[in-house]
Amino acid sequence: MLEPIPLSERRRDLWLIAGFLVFASTSVFVDRLAALDVDFCGQRSLFGALCWYGRNLDPLFLANPQWLRVMSGISAWVFGPLYLLFAWAFWRGVDAVRWPTIAWAVAILYSMVVHLWMEFFGPAPAPHPGLLTLIYLPYVLLPMLALARLRGERPFSRVRA
């Protein structure tokens, strides 16, 4: 018979939970707007920080080509809610979240290959590629950590003694 492993014995999961919650926030506050092609630098814009970011660090973000709007839409309306589900499931120790999280991690890693390739070799290359790499690094590390964490068949359960 299986029993859940309490969160107090899975302290490292708190890092994944925090990462999922941060990603949920960026999905709502940035990706949703990018998917809708909001002009971050428009007159009287409330998005001054995002305009500065695009002008100084990430010109592709401001160019916002159609493929990036599609990826941002997937992040906003598919992954955004999933991040909340993943955070809850990791908090509660729900083994059933394993395969959906693995599917998400593979999808994110694939999309990051495309995104970073275009950031560095596309028509609007980043002026500071090292800094941009650091900014996007969590979007590579979190899925890799999730894949490592979920390598066991029942990551949140153990055989009852």
Domain ranges (residues) in the chain:
2-159
pLDDT at 147 over 90: yes
pLDDT of residue 44: 66
Kindly report, residue by residue over 37-52, the tens digit of the pLDDT.
Answer: 999 998 666 678 899 9
Q: pLDDT digit string (tens) for 69-101?
A: 999 999 999 999 999 999 999 999 999 999 999
Smallest CA-to-CA distance from 53 within 115, 127, 112, 121 is with: 127
145 or 39, greater pLDDT: 145
Q: Flag whether the pTM goes above 0.85.
A: yes
* Beta carbons of 24 and 87 less than 8 angstroms apart: yes
Q: What average pLDDT does the segment 26-32 reach?
A: 96
pLDDT for residue 46: 66
Residue with tokens 């394993």: 98
Q: What is the average pLDDT value for the chain, to the nearest integer?
A: 96
The pLDDT tens digits of the residues spanning 113-134 come to: 999 999 999 999 999 999 999 9
Give the whole-angstrom CA distance, residue 47 versus residue 106: 31
Which helix or strand (DSSP H or E) is residue 79 part of? none
Distance between CA atoms of residues 86 and 94, nearest Å: 9
